[in-house]
Amino acid sequence: MKTDITRRRILAGLGATVAAPAILRATRAYAANPTIKVGFVTPSTGPLAGFAEADDYILEGLRAHFAGGITNNGKTYNIEIIKKDSQSNPNRAAEVAAELILSDEVDIITAAATPDTTNPVADQAEINEVPCITTDAPWQPYFFGRGGNPAEGFQYTYHFFWGLEDIIANFTSLWEGSGVAKKVGGLFPNDADGNAWGDADLGLPKPLAAQGFELIDPGRFQPLTDDFSNYISAFKDAGCEIITGVMIPPDFGTFWSQAAQQGFNPKVATIGKALLFPSAIEALGDRGAGLTTEIWWSPNHPFKSSLTGTSAGDLANGFTAATGRPWTQPIGFKHALFEVVADVISRSDDLDDFEANATAIQSTNISTIVGDVNWANGPVPNVSKTPLVSGQWQKDGDGVELVITNNSHAPQIPVGGDLQLLS
Amino acid sequence: MIEWTGVILQGVLLGGLYALFAAGLSLIFGVMRLVNIAHGDLIILAAYLGLSTTMMFGVHPFAAALLVLPVMAGIGYVLQRGILNQTLGPDILPPLLVTFGLSVIIQNALLEGYSADPQKLSAGAIETASVSVGSLTVGLLPLLTFGVAVAVIASLQWMFYSTALGRGFRAVSDNQDIAQLMGLNKAHVFGLAMALALAVTGIAGILLGIRTSFDPSIGGGRLIFGFEAVIIGGLGNLWGTLAGGVILGVAQTIGAKIDPGWQVLAGHIAFLVVLAVRPNGLFPRVQH
């Protein structure tokens, strides 16, 4: 056989080689599923990192689940989740949210863990008119902290969690059930949470007084203080048998040691924020058992995922099996966040239209692993509430276990044990 | 009356803790005019080293100090000779920036290594033990902290003015170049000063870890009180640092007695008043 290499054949071959990638890529892209990008802002590092420890476990499970894509109006869309670290800093959270919106061009943005993460992200989303779903921050600081007006609400940003009224209702039911003297010592720091809880009109004082509790509130302390002796002597003088407040773990640690040193032994100690995580309780040693706190989610909640059908218990056990760490409350909410996202993507009238996506969020009505999410029933527009119960850290072998002891405000969630007094 | 005695007593004991935070700062500022922004984070680093030691060997945190102190001193020497000595010069800005960077690095390294979980050193019964003086109840641990602060400052003072090493410190502090001409190796003396300062930081870290729970991010918040104690007492004066800590502590507890919101503010006001009236602090370093 004769091979004749001519100038023309070489040029033609070269031309085909050069053109091939372009033609092939164009055809592949045409055939493949379009991608919906979901941005996720979370405090992977910094003081809030405890809230984000389950992120990787949750995202891994979801990416596997989303591998086949989500169908919307008969068309399959791939889901790409882009996670960015807020470093527990609100300014940084706003910065990465802007990055996600402007350079990654996400279709939906999500955020979780305290108002320091949710608010700046939601604000960026509202300005840039990108649909935004957030969770894991009480709704008052989310809504009013962003200057929300209950008559108008926001157009693109939606949030699901519980609020201060739920905390107050749960705490007072817990104390009613304990049968101790109705004298409550309040420990409120001078930060967003402390000022909201201690606020004379919107915080604890009014509902407590209405239910016959006497609140001793010496004032607002600066977070990371080294001395609580004035609080302790005020509580001692007043004969407080209950203490409450919203504190960060180091402040509670300081207070709790000093209280013991100075002979102040309340019968019930119900503290928000400081007692959320098992690690914080274990750090307190023997004196960590018996403390009480709010419970947003637990493996015993009778809910299951709308995406994977996994029960609350299995999700928590899966986390423990994957990481060797005990379950924490944010796990369920992280999963639920993406349940809502997946639901919105499957229902939206036009996924390329941000307004249609925002409307789809508004009309959400699903039962997630943390309870029902439905923005039609919220206390204000853009907020949907999930159930809240309260309970106690009780000794369980070598460790401690968070046991639900009061469900009077969410009877569908079973109680796991009785409240035990501290002293 | 008895109430106010209690308030002042608690303030004095709190001052002991602040003085302990400040002693290392005071020492290195006195010797090499170095403002160490990473000091708070080094205290937390020491607390974590204490935690690892107690976990690994199952020992009491006080026993862990036997290991933590030399390790911190070693870190100090290497840090000074390896990094900080390169930055010292007529300009005070480079060491400031380097220690600021160091602070960020330590925080994030701790976060990577130990996660953001709050931790605590468990010292058993002493944590909640107390002694009664009349109708006042005082925690044993704060009392011990104050005692340790006094002992640390007394021994630093003795070392400064009664040993050859202390003479070296004072010499390089007065004039680095002439001290060098006299046969002192400035780099080595600085390294030893930093080693000593970090050993003190080790003590502060362990006591802080027993007192309350800590996580990688809380170091910075502890720095401000240390600085204020140093400045109230007079730069470079160790006993002054103790006095500064006590003044700060008492001002804070008295402020808190009036209104808890004033606790930190009262401390800062006391600091401002001292700064306005005596810019060099109450007991500036005497010339020797």
Local confidence band at B217 (pLDDT 50, 70, 90 cut-offs): confident
Instruction: Please compute the mean of the pLDDT values over residues B65-88 and round it to a whole number.
Output: 94
The answer to whether residues A308 and A376 belong to one domain is yes
Q: Name the minimum distance, in Å, from the CA of B118 to any CA of chain A.
A: 6
Q: Name the minimum distance, in Å, from the CA of B57 to any CA of chain A.
A: 18
Interface of A with B in 175-194 (CB under 8 A): 190
The per-residue pLDDT for B132 is 83
Instruction: Please compute the mean of the pLDDT values over residues A62-82 and round it to a whole number.
Output: 88
Taking contacts as CB-CB distances below 8 angstroms, the residues of chain B near A277 are 117-118
Tell the residue number behind the tokens 């959270």, with chain if given.
A93
The answer to whether residues A67 and A127 belong to one domain is yes
Computed over every residue of chain B, the mean pLDDT equals: 89
Instruction: Please compute the mean of the pLDDT values over residues A366-387 and round it to a whole number.
Output: 91
Q: Name the minimum distance, in Å, from the CA of B226 to any CA of chain A.
A: 13
Asked if B256 lies within 8 A of A287 by C-beta distance, the reply is no
Tell the residue number behind the tokens 């749960």, with chain if given.
A170
Question: How far is the C-alpha of A244 from the C-alpha of B215, rounded, in Å?
Answer: 23
The answer to whether residues A273 and A360 belong to one domain is no
Q: Name the minimum distance, in Å, from the CA of B131 to any CA of chain A.
A: 9
The answer to whether residues A94 and A172 belong to one domain is no
Number of domains in chain A: 2
Measuring CA to CA, which residue among A127, A204, A124 is closest to residue A164? A204
Flag whether A16 is in a domain: no
The answer to whether residues A313 and A342 belong to one domain is yes
Asked if A277 lies within 8 A of B213 by C-beta distance, the reply is no
- Of A53-62, B256-265, B267-276, the one with minimum mean pLDDT is B256-265
Question: How far is the C-alpha of A42 from the C-alpha of A52, rounded, in Å?
Answer: 6
Q: Name the minimum distance, in Å, from the CA of A289 to any CA of chain B.
A: 15
Q: Name the minimum distance, in Å, from the CA of B26 to any CA of chain A.
A: 21
Taking contacts as CB-CB distances below 8 angstroms, the residues of chain B near A249 are 118, 213, 215
Burial class (CB in 10 A: 0-12, 13-18, 19+), A27: exposed
Flag whether A398 is in a domain: yes
What proportion of chain A, given as a percentage, has pLDDT over 70?
92
Give the contacts of A402 (CB within 8 A, at least 6 positions apart).
A278, A293, A295, A298, A391, A392, A393, A394
The answer to whether residues A89 and A211 belong to one domain is no
Instruction: Please compute the mean of the pLDDT values over residues A303-321 and round it to a whole number.
Output: 91
Q: Is the pLDDT of residue B64 over 50?
A: yes
A149 interfaces chain B, CB cutoff of 8 Å: no
Flag whether A24 is in a domain: no
The answer to whether residues A150 and A48 belong to one domain is yes
The answer to whether residues A157 and A173 belong to one domain is no
When scoring B21, B131, B213, B252 by the number of chain A Cβ atoms within 10 A, the one with the most, hence best to mutate, is B213
B191 interfaces chain A, CB cutoff of 8 Å: no
A50 interfaces chain B, CB cutoff of 8 Å: yes
Establish, for the pair of chains A and B, how many residue pairs have beta carbons separated by less than 8 Å: 131
The percent of chain B in helix, strand and coil, each rounded to the nearest 5, is 75, 5, 20
A399 interfaces chain B, CB cutoff of 8 Å: no
- Residue A32 is given by DSSP the state S
Q: Is the pLDDT of residue A9 over 60?
A: yes
Instruction: Please compute the mean of the pLDDT values over residues B178-192 and round it to a whole number.
Output: 90
Local confidence band at A393 (pLDDT 50, 70, 90 cut-offs): very high
Q: In the numeric block, which tokens belong to residue A358? A: 């925002």
Instruction: Please compute the mean of the pLDDT values over residues B27-48 and round it to a whole number.
Output: 91
Asked if B139 lies within 8 A of A50 by C-beta distance, the reply is no
The per-residue pLDDT for A20 is 55
The answer to whether residues A58 and A119 belong to one domain is yes
Question: How far is the C-alpha of B18 from the C-alpha of B234, rounded, in Å?
Answer: 15
pLDDT tens, position by position, B132-179: 877 788 889 999 999 999 999 999 999 989 999 999 998 988 888 888
The per-residue pLDDT for B237 is 86
Domain ranges of chain B: 2-218
Asked if B120 lies within 8 A of A231 by C-beta distance, the reply is no
Range of the domain at A80: 35-162+299-384
The per-residue pLDDT for A3 is 56
Chain B residue with the nearest C-alpha to that of A259: B128
Amino acid, res. A359: T
pTM of the model: 0.80
Write the DSSP string, A125-193.
HHHHT--EEEESS-HHHHHTTTT--TTT--SSEEEE---HHHHHHHHHHHHHHHT--SEEEEEEESSHH
Judge if ipTM > 0.90: no
Q: In the numeric block, which tokens belong to residue A97? A: 């949210």
pLDDT tens, position by position, A14-31: 665 655 555 544 443 444
- Of A252-261, A363-372, A401-410, B125-134, the one with minimum mean pLDDT is B125-134
- Of A68-72, A182-186, A380-384, the one with minimum mean pLDDT is A68-72
Taking contacts as CB-CB distances below 8 angstroms, the residues of chain B near A257 are 127-128, 139, 141, 211-212
Length, in residues, of chain A: 423
pLDDT tens, position by position, A394-408: 988 878 889 999 898
pLDDT tens, position by position, A96-112: 999 999 999 999 999 99
The per-residue pLDDT for B248 is 94
Question: How far is the C-alpha of B142 from the C-alpha of A257, rounded, in Å?
Answer: 10
B219 interfaces chain A, CB cutoff of 8 Å: no
The answer to whether residues A62 and A158 belong to one domain is yes
Per the DSSP assignment, residues forming a β-bridge with A38 are A81, A108
- Secondary structure (3-state) at A403: strand
The answer to whether residues A308 and A251 belong to one domain is no
Computed over every residue of chain A, the mean pLDDT equals: 87
Q: What is the CATH number of the domain that holds A72?
A: 3.40.50.2300
The answer to whether residues A123 and A151 belong to one domain is yes
The per-residue pLDDT for A183 is 92
- Of A330-334, A356-360, B61-65, B204-208, the one with minimum mean pLDDT is A356-360
Taking contacts as CB-CB distances below 8 angstroms, the residues of chain B near A250 are 118, 212-215, 218
Tell the residue number behind the tokens 């400040």, with chain if given.
B22
What proportion of chain B, given as a percentage, has pLDDT over 70?
99
